[in-house]
Amino acid sequence: MKKLASPFVAAVLLLSSLPAWAAKPLLIVATVPELADIAARIGGERVRVESLAKGKEDIHQVVMRPSFVAKLNKADAAVYLGLSIEDSFLTGLLAASANPALRSDPIMQCSGPGCIDCSQGMSVLERPETLNRAEGDIHPQGNPHYNLDPESGARIARNIASGLSRIDPANAALYEKGLKEYLSELEPKVRELKARAAPLKGVKAVSYHKDVAYLGRFTGLDFIATVELKPGVAPTPTHLASLVAVMKEQGVRLIVREQQYEAKTVDWLAERTGAKVAVIGTMSGSLPGTRTYLGLCEANLKALLAAAGKE
């Protein structure tokens, strides 16, 4: 028995003396590509990151696939935007999966030790006084589209780093280092974008969906109305007629169309009002050059400046 035990003990000792980085990488499942990008930057070789959405989808209508359930079953962590924005897919996928680290939660979307909610500590705009899904409202916890403000990037990165450290404390120093390196690239770039956005301050605009509150905060654009009747509700002819009147009256010359929304109505509106259309992405991977979070921020600002004639 003693002879048999020795090699076994030696193997255990060898394994336990291996440095932490030699362990199998964590599988991180992000809901959207920009969160996958940031998580990969922070986790480096310690993580393998996959995104459920590819980027061109409407985040409110991402289609659930069986392969997503399989990924979540194997995941060590789920990284998501939160504030109910992934309700169309994350909540149902977690309910269908059987990962004790990631459980479905009707309000928080995800509960369990592997959940990394990137909205933690975010100052939420347009928050209703009570949780409300009346009349088709798909923003029941306030506006969840904070990823469109480049200044949200640092908070997202910090939330991911602290989530990874919580799940994998042995490598906390490595995640802290990854965070510092990412912020040293992100923060100067965001300051540069902010300076370039200055000519947009006070420019009146209309967006298709009500996802531009944070983008308006960053750029100073004054978003006065949406093409949609309300979040998730398609425009009616009456709404469009009154929108044309309001845009003419207020001299609105800029329409923001998120690339996932149909061009026909927006082009019709532009023709009637003489406004120019800026096509923006709401996720990384939605438009050329937007593979990373910073690429998305850069492409969106360029599109806005060009359509507003402020290049």
Residue span binding Zn ion (CB under 5 A) among the ranges 12-20, 63-71, 93-101, 211-219: 211-219
Query: Contact 108/85 with Cβ under 8 angstroms?
Result: no
- Phi, psi dihedrals of residue 117, rounded to the nearest 5°: -90, 110
**Closest CB 117 distance from Zn ion, rounded Å:** 17
Smallest distance, Å, CB 84 to Zn ion? 9
Region near Zn ion per CB under 5 A, out of 45-53, 127-135, 204-212, 262-270: 204-212
Choose between 211 and 298: whose C-beta lies nearer to Zn ion.
211
Q: Are 296 and 284 in contact (CB under 8 A)?
A: yes
Binding segment for Zn ion (CB under 5 A), chosen from 31-39, 114-122, 207-215, 280-288, is 207-215
Q: Where are the beta strands (DSSP E) in the chain?
A: 26-30, 47-51, 77-80, 103-105, 109-111, 115-117, 204-207, 222-226, 254-258, 276-280
Q: Could you count the other beta carbons within 10 Å of the beta carbon of residue 298?
A: 18
Say which DSSP state 236 is in. P
Give the residue with the Cβ less far from Zn ion, 88 or 97: 88
Q: Which residue is nearest to Zn ion (CB)?
A: 211
DSSP 50: E
Q: Which two tokens stand for residue 213?
A: 């509150």
For Zn ion, the closer of residues 87 and 211 by Cβ is: 211
In the bound complex, what is the minimum distance in angstroms from residue 131's beta carbon to Zn ion? 16
What part of residues 25-54 is at the interface with Zn ion (CB under 5 A)?
none
Q: Which is nearer to Zn ion, 53 or 75 (CB)?
A: 53
* Residue 227: its H or E element: none
Residues touching Zn ion, count (CB under 5 A): 1
Q: Least distance in Å: CB of 27 to Zn ion?
A: 28
- Tell me the two tokens of residue 273: 């009002």
Give whichever of 33 and 144 is closer to Zn ion, judged by the CB atom: 144
Instruction: Please give the residue ranges that form the binding site for Zn ion (CB under 5 A).
Output: 211
